[in-house]
Amino acid sequence: MSFYMPAEFSEQQAAILIFPERPGSWGFGARPAQKVFAKIINTIAKHEQVYVIVSDKTRKAAEELLRPDNITLLDIPADDAWARDTAPTFVKDRETGEICGIDWKFNAWGGEYDGLYAHWERDDALAEKFCEAAGFGCISAGDFVLEGGSIHTDGEGTVMATEACLLSPGRNPGMTKRQIEQKLLGMLGCEKMIWLPRGIYNDETNEHIDNVCAFIRPAEVVLAWTDDTDDPQYELSAACLNVLENSTDAKGRKIIVHKLPIPDIPVCVSEHDLEGYEFEEGEDTREVGERLAASYVNFFFANDIVLLPQFGGENASGDKRALDIMRSLLPEREIIPVDAIEIIKGGGNIHCITQQIPK
């Protein structure tokens, strides 16, 4: 197969988001989250086309909050709004430039073993339906379970993932690590895989890579970090740093690592937050004081910009620090801070709710 997955920082033709509504993810009728999603969509639409997946329940709110320029609404059934994980992963033909979407098997981050909700049929069908509606070819990954947030590529033959996620018993328990690696390399047109041991502490996706480490250019990454040795994240990030400092990419280059500190004060579920959720039977629930997997690494590249999560309140200084670091690392792009507190309450962040389509 001559397809390969371009890097997220390469030129894009479009982005995909799903307008939020699930009561167990998005509190208070999802209205606070919808306003943040709308700001993100309207911002991306200034730089590239945006496909927004809506339902009968969310179409009216989307039409009210979104500016129509460069935005296409598509009616496709979904169980939740994590487009990174349920929309297709796009690859490009090296010879013709044709863009196709990969349809991975989706099982709500762990299926019967430790999945986050009991029914995920609509999410699993979404990738194929999107390709059909938007006019892209679709490549089936068969029964291979994967979420888009669990992989990062450099566009030059290297893919990164975490062992905690890809080797978790709820995904592909019948496959060895080597078999999983070979499947991914083949599907993504890559030659080398870098396995990081862990992700972000308490990340309910079994520690997706997109929360802990991301390519910002070939052979260069940002890594979620803390200097606080008492923080449970310290050992996880230190283990990742050890691997990265002793790794080379597919072209034999040493990996340059930039530390991107996590929020100084853990972002936790409040009593007020809990009042807004409505959990269904079989769905993972939240509790007051639960630490959410807040990380500045969960940013999104669009053409000429980066949308960077901000957590506000006690973390204002950490927000500014992350902003300053990203501006120094990517001077050629506009780094746009986004108040993402309503997204992290759903369990993920800006990268988790977006999926790019390469040019």
| Distance, CA of 79 to CA of 19 (rounded, Å) | 11
CA 212 to chain centre: 11
Residue type, 29: G
Q: What is the 3-state secondary structure (H, E, C) of 306-353?
A: EEEEECCHHHHHHHHHHHHHHHHHCCCCEEEEEECHHHHCCCCCCCCC
Sole residue written with tokens 């479009």: 14
With contact defined as beta carbons under 8 Å apart, do 285 and 23 qualify? no
Q: Who's near 22: CB < 8 A, 6+ residues apart?
A: 30, 79, 80, 81
| Distance, CA of 158 to CA of 249 (rounded, Å) | 6
Helices (H) and strands (E) in the chain, counts: 11, 17
Q: What tokens does 32 get?
A: 């606070």
CA 135 to chain centre: 23
287-316 b/e (C-beta count within 10 Å ≥ 16 → b): eeebebbbbbbbbbbbbebbbbbbbeeebe
Residue 323 burial by CB count (10 A; 0-12/13-18/19+): exposed, middle or buried? Answer: middle
| Distance, CA of 47 to CA of 42 (rounded, Å) | 9
Q: Exactly one of 100, 165, 240, 352 is catalytic; which is it?
A: 352
352 among known catalytic residues: yes
| Distance, CA of 239 to CA of 223 (rounded, Å) | 11
Catalytic residues: 352
